């Protein structure tokens, strides 16, 4: 069941939510708000220390996402996965 409600967002959050919809990350402002509430509910399962760490990472990710695209670090998923696999192989082969 959906319940109609009216909320007020600061300019900053409204611009960001609208941008997320324009970018296709969400289908509507309502879905952005729902995702935020879902995130809050998930954070209830964390210890205060874990929650602080997660929030710090989220803040850093948001900060980096606001950089111009030409300042982003290129991402090569295959190469990253290969490096991670190599490190794990090295770690577990040393222990075995």
Express each pLDDT in 8-46 by its tens digit: 888 999 999 999 999 999 999 989 998 888 887 776 777
For the whole prediction, is pTM greater than 0.75? no
Closest CA to 20 of 33, 9, 7, 10: 33
List the end-to-end C-alpha distance of the chain, in Å, as a whole number.
Answer: 55
**CA Rg, the chain, in Å?**
19
Q: Tell me: pLDDT of 96 over 60.
A: no
pLDDT digits (tens, 9 = 90+) for 47-56: 888 878 878 8
Q: Are 18 and 29 in contact (CB under 8 A)?
A: yes
31 burial level (CB within 10 Å; 0-12, 13-18, 19+): middle
């Amino acid at each position: 069941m959906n319940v109609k409600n009216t909320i007020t967002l600061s300019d900053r959050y409204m611009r960001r939510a609208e941008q997320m919809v324009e970018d296709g990350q969400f289908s509507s402002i309502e879905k952005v708000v729902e995702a935020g509430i879902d995130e809050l509910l998930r954070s209830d399962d964390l210890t205060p220390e874990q929650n602080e760490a997660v929030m710090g990472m989220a803040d850093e990710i948001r900060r980096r996402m606001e950089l111009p695209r030409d300042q982003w670090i290129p991402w090569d998923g295959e190469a990253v996965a290969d490096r991670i696999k190599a490190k794990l192989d090295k770690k577990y082969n040393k222990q075995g």
